[in-house]
Structure 1
Amino acid sequence: MTKSFKIELPKIPPDLKRANFQDIYYEEDPYLANSIITDTAIDNEELDKLVLSKVTFKNVRFINASFSRIDMTDVLFENCDLSNARFSEGIIHRVTFKDCKLIGLNLTEASLGNVSFENCIVNMSDFADARLKQVIFDNSSLQSVNYYECKFNKVKFNRCDIDGADFTQTKLKGIDISTCTFDRINVDIGNLEGCVVSPEQAIGFAALLGLKVKS
C-alpha cells in the first residue's frame, strides 16, 4: 500500500499588484514578485535564471518561451498555455498548474517540490532526469510524456491518461497508477517492484513477463 500525502499549496497573498511581464526587463536581474499577470501573450521570450515569487498567471500564453534555470516559488498558473515552453534545470517549488495546456513543456533536469498539475494537458512533455518530490498529477492527460531516469519521491498519478508514457530507468516503487488509463507504457520490469496497479493492469504487466493468466 502507498501512503497518502499532502502537498504544500502556493502561498500567495490576496493583494497582488497587477503587472506586465515586460516589467522584469527593467530589473538588473530578471525578477518578479507579489504580482498578477492576466490575459496576455509572452510567446518566444527568452530569459535565463528568471526568478518568480508569489505570482499568479491567468489566461496567459507562453508558447515557445525559454526560461532555462528558472526559480519559481509560490506561483499559480491558471488557464495558461505553456506549449513548448522550456523550464529545463529549473527549481519549481509550491507551484500549481490548473486547467493549463502544457504540450511539449521541457522540464528536463528540473527539481519539482510540492507541485500539482490539475486538469492539464501535458502530452509529449519532457521530464527526463528531473527530480519530483511531493508532486501530484490529477485528472490530466499525460500521453507520451517522457519520465526517463526521473527520481520520484511521493509522486501521485490520479485518474490520468498515461498512454505512451516512458518510465524507462525510473523506479516506480510506491507509485500508484491504479486509477490511470493506458494501452501501452514503457517501463523496465525491474523497476516495477512496489508499483501499485489495478487487477486489469497487472494482467498486462504479466504478459510482459511472458506469463499467461488463467481466468
Structure 2
Amino acid sequence: MGRRPRQGPPRPPAAPADIQLASDPQPDLEHEQTVEAAAYYDVDLTNRLAERVEFFQCRFKKATLAGSHLAKVRFTDCLVETSDLSNLRAEKGTLERVKLSDCRMTGLAWSDGLISDATFTDCKIDLTNWRFARFDVVTFEDCNLSGADFTDADLRGASFTGCDLSGAQFHNAKMAGTRFRTCELEGVGGIANWEGAIVHPDDLLGLSYVLAGALGIVVRETDR
C-alpha cells in the first residue's frame, strides 16, 4: 500500500545488437523457453500452450498469438506492431519496456500481472481482464478499452489519453495519480474508487453523469 509509483514517460525498449527472423513459420513454444533477439514477422503462434516463456528484445509484426495460453509469460524490451493478441491468456505475465501499436487484443487476460514502462497506441483492447494487475509507468493512447476490467488493479502509474473506456470496471482499484485526458467514460464502474485520480477538465461532463448515477441522482429535464 505504501508503494510510490515512478514518474516520467515509459522507458523505451532497448534495441538488440542483432536480430534474426524466426526460422520456423509456425514455431512451437515450450515451457520455460527463452527467445532472444528474434523477429516474428507474419508468424502464426495461434493456440499455443506454454508456461514461463520469455521473449527478450524480440520484434513482432503482423504476428498472431490469438487464443494462446502463456501463463507467466514475460516480454522484455520488445516491439509489437499490427499483431493479434486477442483472447491470449497470460495470467501473472510481465510486460517490461514494451511498445505495442495497432494491435488487436480483444479478450486478452493479463490478470495478476505486471505492466512496467509500456506504451499502448491505437490498440483494440476491449473486453480485457486486468484484475489485480500492477501498472508502473504505463500509457494508453487512442485505444479502445471499452468493457475492460481493472478490478483490484493498481493503476497509480497509468495514464489514458484519447481512449474509449466506456463500460470499463474499476472496482477496488488503486487510482491515486491515474491520469485521464479526452477519454470516453460513459458507464464506467467503480467510480467510488477514483479518489486521487487526475481528470482533464474536458472529461468532467461525461464523468458527472457517472457520478450522478453512483449517487442515485436522476438526470432529466424537470416538469414545471
TM-score between both structures, scaled by the size of structure 2: 0.85
- Local SS of the residue matching 1:89: coil
SS in 2 for 1:203: helix
CA distance in 1, matches of 2:128, 2:218: 34
1:168 is paired with a residue of what secondary structure? coil
Query: For 1:162-187, what per-residue CA distance to the aligned partner results, in whole angstroms no more than 9, with x for missing partners?
Result: 00100000122212223101321001
Structure 2 equivalent of residue 86 of structure 1? 89
- 1:16 is aligned to 19
Letter paired with 2:151? Y
Deviates more, 1:203-212 or 1:106-115: 203-212
Counterpart of 2:222?
none
- What whole-Å deviation, never above 9, does each CA across 1:25-53 have from its counterpart, x for those lacking one? 5xx84110011110121111111000110
Aligned CA distance change for structure 1 residues 11 and 130 (closer, same or farther; 3 Å): same
The secondary structure found in structure 2 opposite 1:157 is strand
Q: Distance in 1 between matches of 2:211 and 2:40?
A: 49
For 1:41, the equivalent position in structure 2 comes to: 44
**Equivalent residue pairs, number:** 208
Of residues 103-112 and 16-25 in structure 1, the stretch that sits farther from structure 2 once superposed is: 16-25
Q: Measure, in 2, the Cα distance between the counterparts of 1:29 and 1:175.
A: 34
> Which of 32, 55, 60 is matched with 2:63 structurally?
60
1:89-136 C-alpha deviation (Å, 9 max, x unpaired): 012211111100000001001111001111000000100011111111
Q: In the alignment, is the contact (CA less than 8 A) between 2:60 and 2:80 conserved in 1?
A: yes
Which 5+ residue runs of structure 2 have no aligned equivalent? Answer: 1-5, 220-224
The residue that corresponds to 2:76 in the other structure is: 73
The equivalences for 1:22-37 within 5 A come to 22=27, 25=30, 29-37=32-40
Q: Secondary structure at the match of 1:177?
A: strand
> Contact 1:5/1:154 (CA < 8 Å) preserved in 2?
no
State how far apart, in whole Å, the 1-side matches of 2:211 and 2:39 are. 50
Instruction: Output the TM-score relative to the length of structure 1.
Output: 0.89
Q: What is the percent sequence identity of the aligned residues? A: 24
1:154 offset after TM fit, Å? Answer: 1.9
Partner Cα separation in structure 1 for residue 190 and residue 28 of structure 2: 44
* Amino acid of the structure 2 residue aligned with 1:209: L
State whether residues 60 and 80 of structure 1, in contact with CA within 8 Å, keep that contact through their aligned partners in structure 2: yes
Distance of 1:123 and 1:211 partners within structure 2 = 28
Once residues 85 and 207 of structure 2 are traced to their aligned partners in structure 1, the CA distance between those partners, rounded to angstroms, is: 35
| Partner AA of 1:53 in structure 2 | F
Residue 194 of structure 1: which of 193, 196, 199 is its match? 196
Map of 1:109-128 to 2, 5 A cutoff? Answer: 109-128=112-131
Question: Which of the residues 169, 185, 208 maps onto 1:203?
Answer: 208
Q: Which residue of 1 aligns with 2:3?
A: none
The farther-off stretch of 178-187 and 11-20 is 11-20
Q: Is the 8 A contact 1:168 1:186 kept in 2?
A: yes
- On the 8 A contact 2:29/2:48 being kept in 1, the answer is no
Q: Helix, strand or coil: the match of 2:62?
A: strand
Letter paired with 1:195: A
Who is 2:108 aligned against? Answer: 105
Deviates more, 1:178-187 or 1:45-54: 178-187
1:210 Cα deviation from its structure 2 partner: 4.8
Deviation at 1:4, TM superposition (A): 6.9
The 10-residue stretch of structure 1 (170-179 or 31-40) with the greater mean CA deviation from structure 2: 170-179
Task: Rate the CA distance shift 1:165–1:153 in 2: closer, same or farther, 3 A.
Answer: same
> Which structure dedicates a bigger proportion of its chain to strand?
1
Secondary structure, in 3 states, of the residue corresponding to 1:200? helix
Q: Superposition RMSD on alpha carbons, in Å? A: 2.1
